[in-house]
């Protein structure tokens, strides 16, 4: 078994597409119309074009808002992305206006930080395990 796709709920797919590609640097993989307004919209890492896809899923279901509000209030991220240098990525994203709820925190061999994806979620970035 392989994890080939995972998803995050996003408030607005067009806005999410811009944030995840232009700000985070992912590459759009699939974009298929689904019903009247929704799309099957996935992105992948530019380093792994055939790697795990992230589905940017519409957040229309009524359970999504209370679920995400509770997680965001407590600072809990819904996904984790690996970067080579958390502090460098933090500086880069701050310069682009991204809001962090947790600044880079070194804990032994692992450094993490948490930011707001502007689509309703908190995302954690972490150094790759050595």
Partner 1 sequence: MVADDLFKALADPTRRTILDELTQKSGQTLFEICARLSMKHQLGISRQGVSQHLAVLEAAGLVETRREGRYKFHDLNTAPLRRIADRWLAPHPSGPEENTP
Q: Beta strands of the chain (E only): which ranges?
A: 5-10, 27-34, 38-44, 53-58, 79-83, 100-107, 110-116, 122-127
Q: Which two tokens stand for residue 123?
A: 């995302």
CB of 117 to partner 1, least distance (A): 12
Nearest approach in angstroms of CB 107 to partner 1 is 4
How far apart are alpha carbons 83 and 87 in whole angstroms?
10
**What is the x/- site pattern for partner 1, positions 62-91, by CB under 8 A?**
-------x--xxxxxx--------------
Q: Give the sign of the dihedral formed by CA 45, CA 51, CA 53, CA 54.
A: negative
Q: Tell me how far apart the alpha carbons of residues 12 and 120 are, in angstroms, rounded to a whole number.
A: 9
User: Is 21 one of the binding residues for partner 1 (CB under 8 A)?
Assistant: no
For residues 89 to 118, the per-residue mask of contacts with partner 1, x marking binding by CB under 8 A and - elsewhere, is ------------xxx-x-xx-x-x-x----
Residue 126 touching partner 1 (CB under 8 A) = no
Q: Which residues contact partner 1 by CB under 8 A?
A: 69, 72-77, 101-103, 105, 107-108, 110, 112, 114, 122
């Amino acid at each position: 078994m392989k994890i080939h796709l995972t998803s995050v709920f996003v408030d607005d797919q067009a806005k999410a597409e811009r944030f995840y590609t232009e700000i985070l640097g992912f590459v759009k993989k699939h974009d298929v119309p689904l019903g009247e307004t929704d799309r099957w919209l996935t992105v992948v890492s530019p380093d792994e074009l055939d790697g795990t896809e992230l589905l940017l899923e519409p957040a229309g279901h009524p359970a999504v808002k209370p679920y995400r509000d509770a997680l965001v209030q407590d600072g809990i991220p819904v996904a984790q992305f690996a970067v080579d240098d958390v502090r460098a990525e933090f500086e880069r994203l701050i310069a682009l206006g991204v809001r962090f709820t947790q600044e880079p925190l070194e804990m032994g061999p692992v450094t993490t930080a948490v930011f707001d994806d502007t689509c309703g979620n908190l995302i954690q970035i972490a150094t790759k395990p050595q």
